[in-house]
Amino acid sequence: MVTVRTGNEIKFHLAIDAAMQHMPGMRLAILLLLAGLTACSGKKDAPPPPLTVSIAAPLQRVVTDWDEYVGRFEAIQDADVTSRVAGQVTAIGFRPGVEVGTGQMLFQIDPRPYRAALAQAQADLMRARAEVAKAQTELNRAAELRKYQAVSQEEFESKVAALRSAEADRAADAAAVDSRQLDLGFTTIRAPVSGRVSDKRVALGDYVTPGQTLLTRVVSTNPIWFSFEGAESFYLKYIRQAQEGERKSSRYAPNPVEIQLADETGYKWRGRMTFVDNAIDTNSGTIRAHAEVANPNGFLVPGMFGRARLLGSGTYKALLVPDEAIVTDQARKLVYVVDKDKKVAARVISTGPMVEGLRVIRDGLAPTEKVIIDGLARIQPGMPVNPKLVKITPRAQDNLPDSVPAQAPAASDVKTAN
């Protein structure tokens, strides 16, 4: 390569050569000075190439929101068993902790005093019936004599009053017999509902007091309720959805519910909403609700913990992106996209639940935009990048149930896990 120098540069180099010939000691210093001048006069380093990032179009899906709640199972029928008569326990007819049917004998109270009281009442009733028959005969005789003016009006009216009094006594004695029969029947204490019985709280020979001594407890198991409390914000959302025709209110429609137990990874238990309370608790700002769940094998028991998801919306179109593509900026959530000039741009988004292992983007992102998937820590809005197009694929199987809230199946169609 030929280097062309100006006249001044030639004179400068001639002067340097002459100085170096007369002063050899300065040769090294001059060479270093020339190297520094050459470096300063050279061109600046070229800028680094744009950062390479992976971009992808979001997946498009039609999804349904499911709101999550925590709650516990409750028995629909929960009965504390007490005695309606006083006496000693003479028999126990069940094994604690097992299923019993409606009307099954649980306890026997000594029936002998009540049997004797019934016999006494029956005897009183027989006497009252005899008195009625006697009074009726006397009234009939007085009526015949009255035709011949052989009985005064006062005496005749007295016979009528005697008959009415005897009939009243007969009615009272008949009621006493019914009462004694009830007392005798109450000495056999039976299961008020079908379900699972607790342990016995009394032993043979114990004396029980009516309505006070707890004997045992029976809870129904099939079906069973799953009870939970929802925040006021969710309640308002559901009401507005019902007004707009997007989703029927669970107060009137059997919206589907899926439940996961503490040791389960999936939502295997299915039920239907049957109750929403009529007021919001002012202390907690929540409203009570429960769903009915089929439990034919008695696996679910009252008090068991569960996590439920309730149908939370109608169907809508949503975009799906990986969670790692979403950046949190204080109270906002962002994704970065690459514009037509291959520069980074930020999009403020609102997110939804996870579907197929990806995060739902409800709004803030266009379906045609390309989202930056990696390298988020090194990019800033306006920065040029070298985009590399990739494809987003589902990361998990979609385990959300398909549901049309306006045509929810009847409670009889509910399926349950075995």
- Tell me, what DSSP letter sits at residue 346? E
Residues 199 and 328 in one domain: no
* pLDDT top residue among 408 and 72: 72
- Residue 9 confidence (pLDDT): 54
**Residue pair 340/412 in contact by the 8 Å Cβ criterion:** no
For 148-178, the pLDDT digits (tens) are: 888 888 888 898 999 999 999 999 999 999 9
- Residue 376 confidence (pLDDT): 84
Residues 138 and 163 in one domain: yes
Residues 342 and 247 in one domain: no
In this model, does residue 44 exceed pLDDT 80? no
Which amino acid, one-letter code, is at 352? G
- Residue 331 confidence (pLDDT): 82
pLDDT band at 415 (very low <50, low <70, confident <90, very high): very low
pLDDT band at 404 (very low <50, low <70, confident <90, very high): very low
For 343-368, the pLDDT digits (tens) are: 999 999 988 878 888 898 888 899 99
∠ CA 36-40-43, nearest 5°, is 135
Structural domain of residue 346, as residue ranges? 53-61+316-389
For 110-120, the pLDDT digits (tens) are: 999 999 999 99
Residues 280 and 239 in one domain: yes
Of the listed ranges 36-40, 268-272, 304-308, 346-350, the least confidently predicted one is: 36-40
For 286-319, the pLDDT digits (tens) are: 999 999 999 999 999 999 999 999 988 777 788 9
- Residue 341 in any domain: the answer is yes
Kindly state the average pLDDT of the residues 22-29: 53
Q: At what angle do helices 7-22 and 27-41 cross, to 10 degrees?
A: 160
Residues 96 and 160 in one domain: yes
For residue 128, give every residue at least 6 positions away whose Cβ sits within 8 Å of its Cβ, in sequence order, or none: 166, 169, 170, 172, 173, 174
Could you tell me how many residues make up the chain? Answer: 418
- Residue 283 in any domain: the answer is yes
Of the listed ranges 41-45, 139-143, 167-171, 400-404, the least confidently predicted one is: 400-404
In this model, does residue 406 exceed pLDDT 60? no
- Residue 418 in any domain: the answer is no
Residues 108 and 193 in one domain: yes
Residues 169 and 121 in one domain: yes
- Residue 194 in any domain: the answer is yes
Q: Rounded to whole angstroms, how far apart are CA atoms 87 and 325?
A: 74
- Residue 293 confidence (pLDDT): 96
Which amino acid, one-letter code, is at 339? D
Residues 169 and 262 in one domain: no
Q: Rounded to whole angstroms, how far apart are CA atoms 55 and 60?
A: 16
Place of tokens 């198991």: 221
- Residue 23 confidence (pLDDT): 53
In this model, does residue 412 exceed pLDDT 50? no
Q: Which residues pair with 346 in a beta bridge?
A: 336
Residues 96 and 119 in one domain: yes
- Residue 41 in any domain: the answer is no
- Residue 18 confidence (pLDDT): 58
In 150-219, DSSP assigns E strands to 188-190, 195-197, 207-208, 214-219
Residues 112 and 189 in one domain: yes
Q: What is the pTM of this model?
A: 0.67
**Residue pair 255/404 in contact by the 8 Å Cβ criterion:** no
In this model, does residue 282 exceed pLDDT 60? yes
Residues 339 and 366 in one domain: yes
- Residue 42 in any domain: the answer is no
Total number of domains in the chain: 4
Residue 262 tokens, joined: 């503490």
Q: Rounded to whole angstroms, how far apart are CA atoms 76 and 71?
A: 15
**Residue pair 95/212 in contact by the 8 Å Cβ criterion:** no
Secondary structure (3-state) at 306:
strand
